[in-house]
A = this chain, B = another copy of it.
Amino acid sequence: MAISPFQKTRAEYQPQAPSCLQDLQQLQSRFASMQPQLSADAKTASALGELFPHTFKQTERGLIEFGAFGDSAKNPGEARALHVGVVLSGGPAPGGHNVIWGIVDAIRSLSPRGRVTGFRGGPAGILANDAMQLSADSVQPYRNSGGFDLLGTSRSKIDTPEKLAKCRSVLEGLELDALVIIGGDDSNTNAAVLAEYLVGVGSAVTVIGVPKTIDGDMQNALVETTFGFDSAVRVYAELVSNISRDTLSGRKYYHFVRLMGRAASHITMEVALQTQPTIALIAEEVAAKKQTLYAIVTQIAEVVKERADQGKHYGVILVPEGIIEFIPEMRALISELNQIIAEHHEYLASLSGFTEQSEYLHRKLSRDTSYTFSGLPIDIQRQLLMDRDPHGNVALSRIETEKLLIELLVSHLNEEKAEGRYRGNFGYQHHFLGYEGRCAAPTNFDANYAYSLGRTAAALASTRATGYMAVVRNLSNNKAEWQACGVPLLAMMTLEQRGGTTKPVIKKTLVDLDGPAFQYFAEQRKSWVHADDFRYAGPIQYFGPLALTDRIPLSLALQHGGSPLTNW
């Protein structure tokens, strides 16, 4: 890998860990009741207790807090040489390398004989025993860098009895004390399953999760945000504000920008807060209002028409990639399609092309969804049928929803124009921003946060706790005051119907329409529609005034912070 001056300079940045994690030799831990409580009603709790009999007990002991509590507390850092395994799982997020760096630093601080082993290529790398030793030296060139390329990653899972047994034998063969799984909701669910399995079979290897995802959909009352969200959002905000400035200069295009984020619209809402576009659709709001595709298109068309009357034939419209499954009729269509594909995938595969598959599906779809399907532009029909995700489902992220909206708007506005209700020319451009930001070099916030999560994971390993997630709280305060703790994975789990069976899963967090961040957004956006109040976010700055280099996401500040808006 070529090392640019940027990388070289950036590698010199030393992230700061919370003061409670700075001297690991003196580290103490204690159990604390969870304040605030996580949800899990009694029925769910009881079901989880049956599914996870061994690790469930730990939920009752509550979260693990780290700090200096005086003589009464337990000191876990008893100079024991630990051997910790680490694996990256799922899509990359800025900061992954810093989590590993934090683990390596902390394990070596606990004892010079401590070791860290990395598994290559995601969880599949554990099964293949594709491992490498990680040292301060091997981590050095990856400090504060983006990407997961030090170890690689994948969406592979350890979810069958055979894989669980194989995993155990690899971990025990390497004489690991703990395995740290850095991943999103699925990967942390997998961590909980593996932790339970290992305790159940009498293995001493513990399992610890680390909350990663750019999508921001794993936040809750205890997990304030995931690492990577801040950096990815800042890249998208940079680009959206460049696009806003462009449309304000040329005044001839509506730019439709679809943003990554899977089901939830956290990324879109945060980018909107940072850039103040003309319109930002929020999938959760569409669902709450039960807005149809027609309703959404009409809503945008009204804005286009009103702006045309002011002589404005341009604007910026943000579209969360998850919106497609929150529009009632699209959700029904996708659900039916997935079911038909699952039941008839062999026959479908035997049909040679789009036309034949489309004809066949029309006969299988219900009357309503068939009607919905026929009304879609041909390109979108094709994307719905031809692109599948690794589970065989419709690949939602490949559906160009921004183009769907544009095509429907063009038809709608042509009609309005012909009938005299629209005076303007509807010029447009479309964009999809996702891969452009997932591997950015982490912001200072993410660099510090991810490094701290790594140290926390190592501290948890030293307590021998299993089935915990490394969590760092109090993030809107000074870094030194951040609180390191461990939260039982089960405390974040719920039961979901997936493919006909009930499965325990880490709850995916959607945008809370009653929360302070959305409420603030809903108030602010009123003026954006007509005022062209575009905010120019600029690229991530790593040097210079703290107001530029050490920000936190606005939604995080609104949700957890004091009064962040004065200098925002």
* Interchain CB contact under 8 A, B438 and A7: no
**Chain A contact residues, CB within 8 Å of chain B:** 1-2, 4-7, 9-10, 88, 91-92, 121, 145-149, 152-154, 235, 238-239, 242-243, 245-246, 248-251, 255, 276, 379, 429, 431-432, 435-441, 532-545, 547-548, 567-568
Partner of A239, one of B436, B534, B535: B436
B-chain residues with CB within 8 Å of residue A534 when the two chains form the complex: 1-2
B-chain residues with CB within 8 Å of residue A235 when the two chains form the complex: 238-239, 242, 539
Residue of B nearest to A147 (CB): B245
Residue of B nearest to A252 (CB): B154
Q: How many copies does the complex hold?
A: 2
Partner of A436, one of B248, B431, B435, B536: B431
Instruction: Give the distance to chain B from A214, nearest Cβ to Cβ, in Å.
Output: 11
Complex CA–CA separation, A249 to B543 (angstroms): 27
Among A153, A532, A533, A541, chain B packs the most CB atoms within 10 A around the CB of: A541
* Interchain CB contact under 8 A, A242 and B440: yes
* Interchain CB contact under 8 A, B249 and A153: yes
Instruction: Give the distance to chain B from A244, nearest Cβ to Cβ, in Å.
Output: 8
B-chain residues with CB within 8 Å of residue A152 when the two chains form the complex: 249-251
* Interchain CB contact under 8 A, B547 and A9: yes
Partner of A538, one of B6, B88, B249, B535: B6
B-chain residues with CB within 8 Å of residue A2 when the two chains form the complex: 276, 533-536
B-chain residues with CB within 8 Å of residue A121 when the two chains form the complex: 251
List 11 A-B pairs, Cβ < 8 Å.
A2-B534, A6-B536, A6-B537, A6-B541, A147-B248, A148-B249, A153-B250, A238-B440, A239-B436, A246-B439, A543-B544
Residue of B nearest to A253 (CB): B435
Q: Would you list the 7 A-B pairs with minimal beta carbon distance, nearest first?
A: A543-B544, A6-B538, A147-B245, A539-B539, A245-B439, A148-B249, A2-B535
Partner of A7, one of B246, B255, B538: B538
B-chain residues with CB within 8 Å of residue A145 when the two chains form the complex: 245, 536
* Interchain CB contact under 8 A, B92 and A249: yes
* Interchain CB contact under 8 A, B542 and A540: no
Residue of B nearest to A549 (CB): B543
B-chain residues with CB within 8 Å of residue A1 when the two chains form the complex: 532-536
B-chain residues with CB within 8 Å of residue A436 when the two chains form the complex: 239, 242-243, 431, 436
* Interchain CB contact under 8 A, B547 and A544: no
CB within 8 Å for A4 and B535 given contacts A542-B541, A542-B544: yes
